[in-house]
Amino acid sequence: SAVISQKPSRDICQRGTSLTIQCQVDSQVTMMFWYRQQPGQSLTLIATANQGSEATYESGFVIDKFPISRPNLTFSTLTVSNLSPEDSSIYLCSVEARPGANTEAFFGQGTRLTVV
Amino acid sequence: EDQVTQSPEALRLQEGESSSLNCSYTVSGLRGLFWYRQDPGKGPEFLFTLYSAGEEKEKERLKATLTKKESFLHITAPKPEDSATYLCAVQARTSGSRLTFGEGTQLTVNP
């Protein structure tokens, strides 16, 4: 399994500001993923962070709002820009591991963002 | 479009009362079906991945099964510490590594 550390675990931000979330993995992984979990809802993929190339965004998510960095194979950041109350969610980092023929996907503990 | 529907939304059991959670899915070529446990304020904890109809996997009191249209998570003789939200997700062959999640089943096990 992979151990994923996310920082910060929670934050309260003013509208119009930005928050950068860090994700550190204890092993090298090709792809890292960022998900959003809105209050009372399930997880939605924001983007896939590829090392050495631009992130790939899902429909409804844009780079200007959610810029992502992936400087190496163990680290990524997600920035949520120009915050509004609608951005209040839990943001989760995820990695995929493929031991043998299996596929396993692991998540960090999440960052709970509240925008006021 | 891949879709995942979980039922029931919430389930209350007495300790020792076995039951099953359902995950119905529609996907264009299933690569894998994932089950997670999520405790309040925490990220999802990986439980199982199932790949083909007829496959079963077990972990302690949990057993996951898979058909071509749905998956069941059977909980045998649950304990209060099994209380959590259980999430199901699918990964399609055509969507890379994207996981499409259901809304989850909130399980409460009373002592």
- pLDDT tens readout for residues A52-76: 888 999 999 999 999 999 999 999 9
Q: What's residue A100's pLDDT?
A: 66
Q: Which of B31, B47, B99, B103 to mutate to test the interface with A (most CBs of A within 10 A)?
A: B99
**Are the C-beta atoms of residues B84 and B22 closer than 8 Å to each other?**
no
CA distances (Å), origin A110, targets A3, A10, A14, B12, B43 = 13, 8, 20, 26, 6
Residues of A in contact with B43 (CB under 8 A): 4, 6, 92, 107-110
Q: What's residue A99's pLDDT?
A: 67
User: Looking at chain B from residue 46 to 65, which residues have their Cβ under 8 Å from any Cβ of chain A?
Assistant: 46, 49
Residue B109 confidence class, pLDDT cut points 50, 70, 90: very high
Q: Which of A41, A43, A50 to mutate to test the interface with B (most CBs of B within 10 A)?
A: A43
**SS3 of residue B81 by DSSP:** helix
pLDDT tens column, B27-55: 989 999 999 999 998 999 999 999 999 99
- The mean pLDDT value for B47-67 works out to 96
Q: Is B43 on the interface with A (CB under 8 A)?
A: yes
Q: Which residue positions in chain A have pLDDT lower than 50?
A: none
Q: Do B42 and A109 touch (CB under 8 A)?
A: yes
- The mean pLDDT value for B86-110 works out to 93
Q: What's residue B94's pLDDT?
A: 84
Count of Cβ atoms closer than 10 Å to residue A114 Cβ: 13
Q: Do B43 and A58 touch (CB under 8 A)?
A: no
Which residue in this structure is represented by tokens 């992984």?
Answer: A29
Q: Do B44 and A43 touch (CB under 8 A)?
A: yes
Range of weakest confidence among A31-35, B72-76, B83-87, B93-97: B93-97
